[in-house]
Structures are given as structure tokens and as C-alpha cells.
Amino acid sequence: MLWNEVKEILKHKLPEAVQHLWIEPLTCIKADDNQIELACPDKFFCLWVKENYLKIIEESLVQLGKASAKINFSISSPALNESRGRLLQGGTREQLRLPAIPEVNSNVRNLHPRYVFEEFMVGDSNLLAHSACQAIASGDTTLGPSLYINAGTGLGKSHLTHAVAHSIVNNFPGTRLHYLTAPQFSSEMVSRIRSNSMDVFKDKYHNHCDVLLIEDVQSLTGKVKTQEELNELLDVLMKTGKRIILTGSTSPRELSNIDDGFRSRMSAGLISTINPPDLMTSRLIIKRKAVNCNLLFDDELVEYLAQCIRGDIRKLESAIVGLKAKSSLLKKNPDLAMAKEIVAEIIGNTHELSAELIRDFIAHQFKVSIQDMRSKSRKKMIAFPRQVSMYLARKYTEQGLAEIGKAFNRDHSTVLHSVRVISDAISRNGSIRGQVKLLAEKLKK
């Protein structure tokens, strides 16, 4: 029978799961040299087969020398549907897969539900990393298929890798994605070695992986065997154009006790550093996380948190959660007094750095008056402390040049000149470099 000959050819062209799910249920009602009429269980089934497998069926007919034969589809009768039900019940008890869904599915562990691209606040400090992750998630290789994210604790590298995993799983379910931490990778490898099943481990990652996301590679320092295995895996994936994201607390060149080959492969693609968020980005983060917690923060409260908690987004989250708990307990909206109490518990009592605060501190250290610091005097004993104050204010606050200048009764050009003078002196004079460093340490305390 012609249809049986076609099915025999399709067995060699289509995966077994597709054959079982979409070809076997088709019932041939009529078949001759001019026409094949196939009955489908329902309208959806009929449309899917037409859109996805009609072309390959027609190619099979050409291969059999029956290019002129036309294929017609119809909806089968209830009796045929019952027959199809018995066919499926008599088959395998394994869960059927939709077409193009691979036999080895994604391996994704414990994704945070809110770590998605929509919840990630983008600023100058993380723009490149965010763009690269979005490109990799969408399959765009403009920035390359390999990415290394270098970031300290609480700056958002886990948020971005989770966002990539969420995006791929939701939009491209057929993608074989493996997301895990470096310690999890190492633990899995050791387990396979002990059970003498390393061939299964290699097959899983070498042959059934389209996207690999591994976090915290700095934890592999000194683990020679794991480095060798991961080195081999990266080599295989890179040669076949697979997508890779690695994250670490330092850049590859700064990692110690790392094999040179492994270091080289980590550095083969784009390396992006996430820096601590600037004030503007911090404000956006605070506002978004407050909304997520159903809290209403006024501008003064947002500004206080942004100024006091810098660099670690997890500390910001902790402060917001603390404010939510306290406001719920006291049955009142969060206010500045609450925020000061919460911040003190997280980072200790602190003073918000400003140009005025730095000016007063440096004046005290050099034993000059505030009036002298704001005067027009160009005497070295006054000009030097003033220039150091402007330099430190520019370095440790988010205030603009004009705003810093107001604290010293100067304009922005004077501030810029002072920053350049002190920067040059630090690079040339070890004594001044040590003096400014000591003052900065005292200031931070």
C-alpha cells in the first residue's frame, strides 16, 4: 500500500516521538497513484500536520516516483478516534513529547520567579551585561555566543542568569538549557565518577546542551579535575556554536589556581563587569522593589536609602523587607525615622557623605577654618586642603561639580581643576598618595 511505503520513508526522516505522535494516528482512507486521503482525529491535528509535515510527506511521494499524487486531509469519524485511543493506550506509557522538543530536556534548578528581565533595573553600571544577556536569550549572536559576567556580591549577576533561563524556557521550550552553579557541576561530576557513569555525564553536557549557564566559577579554584572537565566541555560547546554564560566574583585573569586553558576559554568571549549601581539606578531599584512589596515611598525616603546603602542590592532588599515588616507591625506607612532605624541595623550608624561633610572633616584634619576653605585665599596651607576636599567629594559622593563647588564658594571649573591637580599629584608623589589614602580611610570610618 502506498501510504505504508510513505510511512516507512518517514521513519528515517522524522524523530521517533514525532512519528508516534503525529504520523501513526493518521488513517489512510484511500490511496492510489493520483490521490492519498488521510483522516485526522480533529481539526487542530489536521492543521498541525498540514503546516509541519505535508512538505516532507510530498517529498516521500516524489522519492517513490508518485509526484503527481495529491494529499487530502479530512476529520475522522468517532469510530476511528476510538481506534486511535486504543492505539495510544496500547503503546508506551512514557509521556509523549511535542514535536521538536528534545529527548533530553532542560536542567534548570530553583529559578527565582522575580529574577526576570522586566524586574532588572538597567543603568550605566550594568548596561553591557544586560544587553549581552538579552541577546544570548534571544539567540542573537551579534555580541558573540559566549559571555563572562564579573561582579561582586549582590550586584545582579544571578538576576541576569536567571532572567536568561526564564526567557529561554518560556519562549524557546525546545532549547536544551543547563543552569547550575560551579559547585553543583563539580558535585554532579564527582557522583558520576564514583558510579562509573562518566559517559552519561559527558553525553548529557556534550551532546544534549544548547545553552550552558554556570555561576560562581571562582569556587573551582584548586579543583583541577573539575577544571579539566569543564575546559573540555567549553571546548566542545564553543566549536559547535552553543551559547555559554559564566559568572564569577572576579575577572578570569584575576582568578588564582586556575588552569591556563580554562582561563583562556573563559576569556574567549565577551567579558562584562557589573559595577555598583549609581544613585539614579539605586533609586529605580528601590522604587521597583517597594512596589513589589506594596509599599509607598516618598522621594525623601528613596533618596535616604539610595545614599546610605550603596553597592549591594541585597542590602537594599533587606532594608525594604525590614520597612515592610515594621510598617505592618506599627500599622503606618514607612517614614524616614523607620528607615534610619532599619539602615542602622543593616550597616550600622552612618553619616551621609556630602561635599559639606567632607569639607568640614578635612578642615578639621588640616586645622583650618571652614571660612578659610570658602575664602578666595590661594595660600598653599589653605588651597591644598580645599583641593583634597573637592577631590574626595567628587570620588565619594554623587554630587555634581557645581553642587560640590557651592560648598567651597567656587564654580564647577575650579572643582574640575582641583580634581585634576590632586589626581596628578597622587600619581607622581608617593607622600601625597599616602596622605590622601589615609584621609579617605578616616573619612569612610
Mean pLDDT, the chain, rounded, equals: 85
Helix (H), strand (E) at residue 10: helix 2-10
Q: To 5 degrees, how large is the angle CA 293–CA 294–CA 300?
A: 90
Task: Look up residue 216 and give its amino acid.
Answer: D
What are the residues facing 148 on neighbouring strands? 246, 271
pLDDT of residue 206: 93
pLDDT for 212-250, tens place per residue? 999 999 999 889 999 999 999 999 999 998 999 999 998
Q: Which of 376, 247, 306 is nearest to 121 (CA)?
A: 306
CA–CA dist 220, 226 (Å, integer): 7
Look at residues 329, 318, 330, 321 and name the one whose alpha carbon lies nearest to residue 294: 321
Asked whether the beta carbons of 150 and 250 are under 8 A apart, the reply is yes
> Exposed/middle/buried for 108, CB within 10 Å: 0-12, 13-18, 19+?
middle
Q: Which of 360, 425, 345, 437 is nearest to 395 (CA)?
A: 437
Q: How confident is the model at residue 141 (pLDDT cuts 50, 70, 90)?
A: confident
* Terminal Cα distance for the chain, rounded: 88
Radius of gyration of the chain (CA): 32
- Give CA–CA dist 138/291, Å, rounded: 28
Phi, psi of 75, deg, nearest 5: -90, 130
Say what the pLDDT of residue 167 is: 93
- Tell me if 215 sits within 8 A of 112, measured CB to CB: no
Number of C-alpha atoms within 13 angstroms, CB side, residue 73? 18
Q: Which residue has the higher pLDDT, 320 or 91?
A: 320
Taking the C-alpha atoms of residue 217 and residue 356, their distance in angstroms, rounded to an integer, is 43
CATH match for 107-274 among 3.40.50.1370, 3.40.50.10490, 3.40.50.300, 1.10.150.120: 3.40.50.300
Q: How many CA atoms lie within 13 A of 427 on its CB side?
A: 6
Q: What percent of the chain has pLDDT over 70?
A: 91
Q: What percent of the chain is predicted at pLDDT more than 90? A: 38
Return the C-alpha cell found at 290. Answer: 517597594
- Binned at pLDDT 50, 70 and 90, residue 146 comes out as very high
159/163 Cα distance (integer angstroms)? 6
Identify the pLDDT of residue 179: 94
Instruction: List the CATH code of the domain at 355-444.
Output: 1.10.1750.10
Evaluate whether 184 touches 147 at the Cβ level (below 8 Å). Answer: no
Position 105 scores a pLDDT of 56
CB under 8 A, 24+ apart: contacts of 379-388: 386/418, 387/418, 387/421, 387/422, 388/362, 388/422, 388/436, 388/439
**CATH architecture, domain defined by 2-90:** 2-Layer Sandwich (3.30)
Question: Cell numbers at residue 60, please?
Answer: 516521500
Helix (H, G, I), strand (E, B) or coil at 411: coil
Res. 405 pLDDT band, cuts 50 70 90: very high
pLDDT tens digits for range 59-89: 888 888 888 888 888 887 655 455 444 444 4
Mean pLDDT of 271-293: 88
Q: Which three cell numbers stand for residue 384?
A: 591644598
Rounded to whole angstroms, how far apart are CA atoms 109 and 238? Answer: 23
Residue 32, pLDDT score: 81
Query: Which runs of consecutive H residues, i.e. helices, occur in 152-252?
Result: 157-171, 182-194, 198-202, 224-239
H helices then E strands: how many in the chain? 20, 9
Residue 97 confidence (pLDDT) above 60: no
Task: State the burial class of residue 195 (Cβ atoms within 10 Å of its Cβ: 0-12, 13-18, 19+).
Answer: exposed
Nearest CA-CA partner of 102 in 16, 213, 225: 16
Confidence of residue 120 (pLDDT cuts 50, 70, 90): very high
Q: What pLDDT does residue 235 have?
A: 93
Helices 313-330 and 336-347 pack at an angle, to 10 degrees, of 130
* pTM assigned to the model: 0.57
Whole-number pLDDT of residue 271 = 94
Angle between helices 355-366 and 430-444 (to 10 degrees): 120
353-380 confidence digits (pLDDT tens): 788 889 988 998 999 998 899 999 999 9
Average pLDDT in the 98-124 region?
73
Query: Domain locations in the chain?
Result: 2-90, 107-274, 279-333, 355-444
